[in-house]
């Protein structure tokens, strides 16, 4: 069983690899953003609490986020594994995830980290286009879709995220290094971390990651 966390700075190619991993191993791709949207749209108690906080412009506290993660990982489609993307972002969240994973019998057992130099990330981010429907990622310079502006997977029109610009990206990268990168040491000490070089052909990276995961099944 593969209970995976996918890590890496913004622009490292996590979205592309996430799609390939969940397709290959038939496990759900879980992101905190998706969980918030689902709970808010369904009007759950957690969703209502989160919406009130978000509408005030504040950050959702860890206890609400962790409760949503616990609820999501407890669902039947996670029985044979899952891929977590975007969570945890801090050491306290990682410790909470460890506790809830043990509680529900679905602990994280693999952490994939994709590393890319800052200059490459900056070049990538300007050319990135994403599918708002299925989440697939492309790049106008290095990984073009078969038809310009159209997703190969589902046919939706690709978009450029509002925060995919130099100013917003600099802030995101700073936040990543300050809060999220320490998690690499945390998971390395736990013996769960598997680092990958994200520079180069995404297909080659996919092959390397899939080969590792096959060996861990």
Whether 14 is catalytic: yes
Whether 161 is catalytic: yes
Three-class SS state of 129:
strand
66's tokens: 């962790």
Whole-angstrom Cα distance, residue 81 to residue 5?
A: 11
- The catalytically annotated residue of 51, 98, 133, 172 is 172
The residue written with tokens 């986020």 in the block is 65
CB 51 within 8 A of CB 36: no
- The catalytically annotated residue of 70, 89, 188, 206 is 89
Kind of pairing between the strands at 137-139 and 2-7: unpaired
- The catalytically annotated residue of 49, 106, 128, 129 is 128
- The catalytically annotated residue of 14, 49, 72, 129 is 14
Whether 48 is catalytic: no
Q: b/e string for 76-96 if b means 16 or more Cβ within 10 A?
A: eebeebbbbbbbbbbeebbeb
- The catalytically annotated residue of 51, 98, 133, 161 is 161
Whether 128 is catalytic: yes
Whether 172 is catalytic: yes
Give catalytic residue positions. 14, 89, 128, 161, 172
């Amino acid at each position: 069983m593969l209970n995976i966390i996918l890590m890496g700075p913004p622009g490292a190619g996590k979205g592309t690899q996430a799609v390939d991993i969940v397709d290959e191993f038939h496990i759900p791709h879980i992101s905190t953003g998706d969980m918030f949207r689902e709970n808010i749209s369904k009007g759950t108690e957690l969703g209502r609490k989160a919406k009130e906080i978000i509408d005030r412009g504040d950050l959702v506290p860890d206890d609400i986020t962790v409760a949503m993660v616990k609820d999501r990982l407890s669902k039947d489609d996670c029985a044979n594994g899952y891929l977590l993307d975007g969570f945890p972002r801090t050491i306290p969240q990682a410790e909470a995830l460890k506790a809830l994973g043990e509680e529900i019998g679905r602990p994280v057992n693999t952490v994939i980290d994709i590393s890319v130099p800052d200059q490459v990330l900056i070049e990538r981010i300007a050319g990135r286009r994403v599918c708002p429907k299925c989440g697939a990622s492309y790049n106008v310079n290095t990984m073009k879709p078969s038809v310009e502006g159209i997703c190969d997977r589902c046919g939706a029109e690709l978009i450029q995220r509002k925060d995919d610009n130099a100013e917003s990206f600099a802030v995101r990268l700073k936040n990543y290094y300050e809060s999220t990168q320490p998690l690499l040491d945390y998971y390395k000490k736990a013996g769960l971390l598997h680092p990958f070089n994200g520079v180069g052909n995404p297909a080659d990276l996919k092959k390397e990651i899939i080969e590792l995961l096959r060996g861990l099944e």
